[in-house]
Structure 1
């Protein structure tokens, strides 16, 4: 896990700030100040790749629908297989009617 590599005061401060966001508008404004458009788009793309993987879409379909490279799709897939299970956890909260992918972390 990479968590230990990023833990520290600065990261704690950032994450605590994110947890304080009150609504979607505030979230947009915060991330607009914090990140470049490209950084936000990249994060959003990864999350959509995760969603499509969870729906058992093929790499080719995901590439066409998101514009993500196969390297990005593979990285997100590795996170599903060997990560902390939070892609599946968050997607389960957003889309409770969808079934998780096999072998996902609970």
Structure 2
């Protein structure tokens, strides 16, 4: 089954193919450092940490203190976890060794 996204287009397909071609963390660092700003990488990594903490049932206050994320960001990620495209769930399950 193919997921249909509002952001799907040939440019995005090519970006995702590029990411999937990366072989290890070192290559990820090199690619993302070139393609993103430091702030963008920090924002992405912060969002993943927020998602992990939400799955651990941490409170918004605990998450805000740990990550520095705003309550608006935490709320958005929480909505994605419950009503989104299951991207966070897929990745978190894989990171936790709970393949679907």
Question: Could you say whether these structures have the same fold, taking a TM-score greater than 0.5 normalized by the shorter chain as the test?
Answer: yes
Listed as ranges, the matches of 1:46-85 within 5 Å are: 46-85=47-86
Instruction: Judge which range, 85-94 or 7-16, deviates more.
Output: 85-94
For CA contacts below 8 A with separation 6 or more, give which structure has more relative contact order: 1
Q: CA offsets, 1:63-95, max 9 Å, x none? A: 000000000000000101110112122111111
For structure 1, the residue ranges without an aligned partner over 5 or more in a row are 98-105
State how many pairs are aligned. Answer: 96
Q: CA RMSD in A?
A: 1.4
Normalising by the residue count of structure 2, what TM-score does the alignment of the two structures yield?
A: 0.91
Distance 1:6 1:88 in 2: 19
